[in-house]
Structure 1
């Protein structure tokens, strides 16, 4: 039974209509290549035809579009370089030995070029086993039909995957976006180093690892604090201002109520527009060359000119554990809480400290 267990499928069941989505995509991509080959034949251009390894390329591009092995550089450069290396091998090495050399050298070349693409091994094998057709086309065999057909597949995969909800090609941002999900505090560069350390760079992309870590972190956060949500700890007795409110009036409200932030709402009194902080006013005044002389002019400006955007607002039903993870990575003095787009409360550092101190006495006694 233990031996049979190791022979069971390693892949999990595919969700929803993923098998059908991938199958239809491959059908479209290969059909486009067939159509181009048919048109080429009509116009007497027999150089464009299909080779079997393109079917394996279609599997990667449409079934696992996020894989590093399926990205455009890997697919196009991998197939082309494998064909060129195989042509050189069968030209200079006679006999059956050329077959093994062609495949081994193609794999080595693809890895050196950072273009590892499994169908490239099949390209090299096909070329070594049937070199006559490749020799008839010469070095152009690597570009037409092989390179051109691979480009057609990549272009069709780009359009089809994006239309069906998959990102392809999967390009990594040069810098971390502000809205990047928490991933145990690891940057994209650190995630890449982690994959490299465990020699997993060809099995899993950095973006996939980041999403998995973010999902795992969010799942764990949902189980913290016994299901407490932002609505359970937020402050609901709010003092708000409008975007057209003057900074002088906003400063008066901050001083009167002894608070450090003011949510900015639209004319309906509910829709959140932003947040203005006490620190914003202090920084604005301090930035003037003559603060005492220019303070009245500064305070005549409107709240809308200096307020922070509302893009850091959180939904009322967000688990507090997820919020704390986000604050650990981004940091913030105040977090607006919304239901749809309506402001329903704010979470301050005091609210968070109160939450963290809940049950402290019991924990200390234990």
Structure 2
């Protein structure tokens, strides 16, 4: 009995983990999509009573477009291309194959093959092919016009409705996949990919499984990365930026002279200065690298001489060279919130160029501290030790 129960339980899917608001949003979207598609098709076709204003497969398409908008099967080309291909194949089979059962079987199979080849797989399109074959005299009388109206017309209107609806409700649709350039075998792995799994790892696993998924590779990778981050948070505890940041922050303003800023760095033995405005809002950051880059200090010959020439203010007349912090600072600047978990700093410190200093701001975006890579490494190290002691794995 237990085995039978376990086998039968496989027929019931796991609970859908979304909010009631999202469920209602999907239902309203499907209602609007089908209603507008039907009314618009009816108004466009006018007196052509032989043309159905709506075909049944559009209901299944609405489920995908409004409930699973991120799925590769719900993207505009999947819907439009899949429906057009299936309609063409279905009409052709209905005309040339007298036996309806054979025509329907070939229509669905050929449609799937072509959709896979053309990267426009859309499950409801299988029903479009069946409709073309088994739709009855009214559909057969349309011939290849069935492809244009109602199939193409229904598809385009439903896609437009979905785009407008998702944009209005602040959801991404169409779902844009990231385009990656193929990395050379000897290319250095970006810092953010040096821990956990890589894109190549995920691609290899997908190849090994050799099955289509309802979720795109990019979304799957994003979910895995978020899961990893959640696991790190659980292992290291709730250590926030406010717990590790330096609160005695030396900052400068846009109009601070370069010579003064450099003197502050030397005096306090720091390598970066947040740049704030009169309201203490962070507007940029200036680092030793900014000084070196703008002073063309690519070599260390006469370093001090060249630097003094660069930062010394030209008295008495306007100079073309930079004279204040705002002219050479990096802006916009990456910031972290005081309540951000320290694990979330890892991708921030590896975006684009490696960031060694991240200003920390409060809920009103005012500067309250700064976190360095050394602060982060120390926190992760001590957090790991604390976790090991809790598990009894460290003396």
Match of 1:32 among 26, 31, 36: 36
Residue 179 of structure 1 aligns with which residue?
none
Q: Distance in 1 between matches of 2:52 and 2:324?
A: 66
Residue 176 of structure 2 aligns with which residue?
171
Residue 100 of structure 1 and its aligned partner are, at CA, apart by: 0.9
Residue 258 of structure 1 and its aligned partner are, at CA, apart by: 1.8
Q: Distance in 2 between matches of 1:287 and 1:134?
A: 76
C-alpha offsets along residues 175-210 of structure 1, whole Å, 9 cap, x if unaligned? 69xxxxx78666767756654543354421134213
C-alpha offsets along residues 227-260 of structure 1, whole Å, 9 cap, x if unaligned? 2211111111221111111211111111122211
Pair 1:153 & 2:163 matched? no
Q: Distance in 1 between matches of 2:250 and 2:44?
A: 72
Q: Distance in 1 between matches of 2:141 and 2:268?
A: 86
Deviates more, 1:32-41 or 1:343-352: 32-41
Q: Secondary structure at the match of 2:368?
A: strand
Residue 327 of structure 2 aligns with which residue?
305
Q: Distance in 1 between matches of 2:138 and 2:36?
A: 22
* Structure 1 residue runs without a partner (length 5+): 177-181
Pair 1:104 & 2:109 matched? yes
Residue 339 of structure 1 aligns with which residue?
362
Residue 99 of structure 1 and its aligned partner are, at CA, apart by: 1.6
Q: Distance in 2 between matches of 1:357 and 1:17?
A: 41
Indicate how the Cα distance of structure 1 residues 349 and 30 shifts in structure 2: closer, same or farther if over 3 A, else same: closer
Indicate how the Cα distance of structure 1 residues 354 and 38 shifts in structure 2: closer, same or farther if over 3 A, else same: closer
Q: Distance in 2 between matches of 1:224 and 1:208?
A: 24
8 A contact 2:177–2:218 mirrored in 1? yes
Q: Distance in 2 between matches of 1:166 and 1:141?
A: 33
Pair 1:296 & 2:320 matched? no
Match of 2:251 among 240, 252, 257: 240
TM-score (norm 1): 0.87
Q: Distance in 2 between matches of 1:152 and 1:260?
A: 57
C-alpha offsets along residues 106-150 of structure 1, whole Å, 9 cap, x if unaligned? 111111111111111101111111364344323232122101110
Q: Distance in 2 between matches of 1:48 and 1:2?
A: 45
How many residues of Structure 1 are paired with residues of Structure 2 in the alignment?
360
* Structure 2 residue runs without a partner (length 5+): 182-191, 314-322
RMSD: 3.0
